[in-house]
Amino acid sequence: MTNIKALCYDPCGELKVKLDFDNDFKSLQSRPKQIAVTSNNPSLYSDRLEITQTKWKHLQYLKSVISKDCHTFYDLLPYKKDKTAENTTESDALDGKQKTKKCKK
């Protein structure tokens, strides 16, 4: 078709065309494309990679704004304990601050 005057895309996914401004829109007949999915790529890792404990804590705060259906995913993320995370509170970890001991003068 080289004489299309107007196109209309319906929210249902139907494409309609006008070949003349005075006529009504007609459905455009299309052939659905079939996509062959073949993936034989081997996994790069045998297990899930661990994230840091600080990152895991930050992700826990995201649960307040995401759907409850996703909470289990975030709870089950494997993490390794940070050496610095043991000396910080959760609020310090979010601020990027570490606790320091006050010296006696």
Residue ranges per domain, the chain? 1-28, 51-95
105 pLDDT band, cuts 50/70/90, is very low
Q: How far apart are CA 81 and CA 66, in angstroms?
A: 25
For 95, what's the count of Cα atoms within 13 Å in the CB-facing half-sphere? 8
User: What's the pLDDT tens digit per position in 46-68?
Assistant: 999 999 999 999 999 999 999 89
Q: What is the DSSP letter of 29?
A: P
Of 28, 27, 14, 17, the C-alpha closest to 6 is 17
Q: What percentage of the chain has pLDDT greater than the value 90?
A: 31
What pLDDT is attached to residue 50?
Answer: 95
What pLDDT is attached to residue 91?
Answer: 52
